Copies of this chain bind each other. A is one copy, B any other.
């Protein structure tokens, strides 16, 4: 007998950020999160958004354990969330709506794409929820972008799969799950979600700034940006998809300059989710402008050392009371 190696580097580390279409009933979210409490998996962050009726959970750990946790969570979400009665402003196609796998250390994006594909196969096999593969896990060029996969949302996609073969799931289906819809399972690089609020209610300023800084228009490399109006305040909402090409400071400086040219200023920043230690610049202006930023909670490596406690699972068995 030989010594068996482990599939993946023994120090390989991945992150998974499943999004669930429930942001109001905390008990439902807690039950979904609790099934991810597997050995080798850490809970790094979670948030419920009432308006969007959506929750976002960040877990990290060993590849196979994180993969299994994400599969189990998709199953529990399918059991507890009924999209036919779900209302919210965020576009969604499924109970476990989006499941991205992200390489953190000693593992490639390509390997994460394989994990994503296997997870999709399993979600269909175990729970009968069909899946679409996106970004690095996409099996077709027209599914690279998540927005193309989700076009029409649950209600529209449910119809589209019936008469448009090109919209059918990559695995399972062709019909969506009657109540849980479908999941978009993907692999992508680590992403920093960074929003900057301007001291104006004029959304046109935010839109113009966003247009000028985004890579698609010749702006900063690895940067996507949108101009929004959030609670009466103009906001430049940024995704940094390649921190090596553009740091958060680069984005901050660019927004500051472009806004200034239009007579506005950045007054407040916020990070959604986690920031890698390498992207953190302790005494910089952009960090000082961050709203409610606790480095111990929001810096990935520190949170990994001290993860959140898993929620206590809801009463397992009434008869044991």
Contacts and interface: CB of A to CB of B under 8 A. Distances in A.
Interface of A: 1-2, 4-5, 7-9, 34-35, 37-38, 64, 67-68, 71-72, 76, 108, 110-111, 114, 117-118, 121-122, 125-126, 171, 313
A68 B38 contact: no
Given A118-B114, A121-B108, A5 B68 contact: yes
Contacts of A35: 2
Q: Which 9 A-B pairs have the closest CB atoms?
A: A2-B35, A114-B118, A114-B117, A111-B121, A1-B37, A114-B114, A2-B72, A4-B68, A4-B38
Contacts of A7: 64, 67-68, 71, 118, 122
Contacts of A114: 114, 117-118, 121
A72 B5 contact: yes
Nearest to A116: B114
* Residue in A4, A35, A108 whose Cβ sees the most chain B Cβ within 10 Å: A4
Given A1-B313, A7-B122, A114-B117, 14 more contacts: A1-B37, A1-B38, A2-B37, A2-B38, A2-B76, A2-B313, A4-B68, A5-B71, A7-B64, A7-B67, A8-B122, A110-B171, A111-B121, A114-B121
